[in-house]
Amino acid sequence: MKLLVLCTLAMMVTMAMSRSWGFIPRRSLARPYEVAMKTQIIAGFDRKLVSWLARHGSGLNAIQRKTLYFVNRRHMQTYWPSYTRYARRQTARLGRPATVNDYRRIGAEIGRRIPMELSYEVLVRRNMIPAWRQYMADLMASKYRIATDAKQ
């Protein structure tokens, strides 16, 4: 009975908080803009991972390193609605129609600004690096899927 009450309260709190945080509705960008922005975000995240691995990655095996590259892509996919909202605000400030290069610049800025090093530290120190699975290999093998966020 206590568990039922606890679960019900947890569900009510989750619903209440999700409404007050402001759900970001999914809006898509035009395909060339989306690809340009995602490519730059991933490139920025991967540059951070390469430098982090050079400094702290000596104790990791090849599978764990590959998994951290997957974490970069999953992080980008998780926060994609927030990134598009930021991109729309930045392009609205331009005062002209946005171009692909504007979205590349915004993606590069996001890739530089997000402190991914903190995620790597937590995953490695607490031994929370996920096990390598086939869906990770499939996602990493296809540049098209990475760039277009699994819209197939």
pLDDT, averaged per 10 consecutive residues of the chain (152 residues), comes to: 65 61 69 93 93 92 92 89 92 94 96 90 89 88 55 40
State residue 147's pLDDT score: 47
Q: Please tell me the distance from the alpha carbon of residue 66 to that of residue 63, in angstroms, as a whole number.
A: 5
Task: Report yes or no: 53 and 67 within 8 Å, Cβ to Cβ.
Answer: no
Question: Nearest CA to 132 among 61, 76, 42?
Answer: 61
| Calculated CA dihedral for residues 112, 118, 119, 124, nearest 10 degrees | 130
- Residue linked to tokens 């920025």: 44
| Prediction pTM value | 0.74
Distance CA 116, CA 78 (A): 13
> How large is the angle between the packed helices 31-56 and 116-125, nearest 10 degrees?
50
Burial classification of residue 14, based on how many CB atoms lie within 10 Å of its CB (0-12 exposed, 13-18 middle, 19 or more buried): exposed
**To the nearest 10°, the Cα dihedral for 67, 47, 110, 141?**
-40
SS3 content of the chain, % helix, strand, coil (to 5): 75, 0, 25
CA–CA distances in Å: residue 61 to residues 33, 48, 64, 132: 36, 18, 5, 12
Q: What is the pLDDT of residue 54?
A: 94
Give how far the C-alpha of residue 34 lies from the chain's centroid of Cα atoms, to the nearest Å: 14
Give the pLDDT score at 151.
43
